[in-house]
Amino acid sequence: MKNLKKRLKQGETLHGCWLNTGSSLTAEIVGLSGFDWVLIDLEHGAGSEKDVLYQLQALEHTKTAAIVRVESSESQRIHRVLDMGAEGIMCPKITGPEGAKKVVQGLHYPPDGGRGVAKMVRATGFGLHFNEYYQEAKENILGIAQIETVEVLDHLDEVAAIEGIDVLFIGPADLSMELGIFGQFDHPRFKEAMRETVNAAQKAGKATGILFFNPEDYQTYHDLGIRFIACGSDATFVADGARNLAKKLDSFRSITKPGHS
């Protein structure tokens, strides 16, 4: 495993991005580009669990750690991608401590959780390294609770205090939508929610994360104390690159038309 949890505990700032096309090729390209981690998105992404397997295989030989956002806190969803080799799980729409505890139950083997034991899976080298994986899993698998509901804002300290929840990850789009200020990330209420989340995480010795798409916003979030930072996605990288190139080619076409002086 690639030690994300250890690095966060040491106070490092870790950079990541979203993978939402379901493509193993873009996963490999992004993995070779220098990110610390990527998030394979099963909640909103185009891929299925089968595609997750191919993306994990593509990322294996890179330095980038693979986290998967599951659709829900149901243990079967969590077990399945961990057995494939995911190094962390993000769960959306956490509303309070009970939901967060349910996530942790799926993350870890007994006595720390309720994860089912299967030796012949990819994460354990198909049985070759089960004992090592079992011993290291608790200290390496990252548990991430998404802070994107109004309800969870009343339970931030409780969620942050749960052992096995390592990152409180702010979901800007959903949180601002639920607050009735969609996309208004400079709104006082949204800023207050961010500060509350960071404070709760820091009190519990945990990290805070966020996703944004403008790199110029980096310093704002870092100054707030956010250390698990995601910027962009494979889909936006492709879309932005394609649009920018098409626009540039159009500009050349306009100056090479017959009669242009």
Whether pLDDT at 216 is above 80: yes
* 8 Å CB contact between 222 and 229: yes
**Could you read off the pLDDT of 17-68 as tens digits, one per residue?**
999 999 999 999 999 999 999 999 999 999 999 999 999 999 999 999 999 9
- Token duo for residue 206: 């945990």
Residue-range domains of the chain with CATH? 4-255 (3.20.20.60)
**Could you read off the pLDDT of 225-246 as tens digits, one per residue?**
999 999 999 999 999 999 999 9
The single-letter DSSP state of residue 155 is S
**61 is a catalytic site residue:** no
Angle (nearest 5°) at CA 91 between 46 and 162: 165
* Candidate list 44, 61, 129, 222, residue with the active-site label: 44
What's residue 48's pLDDT?
Answer: 95
Whether pLDDT at 261 is above 60: no
CA torsion 233-234-238-240 (nearest 10°) is: 10
**Could you read off the pLDDT of 102-158 as tens digits, one per residue?**
999 999 999 999 999 999 999 999 999 999 999 999 999 999 999 999 999 999 999
Q: 3-class SS at 37? A: strand
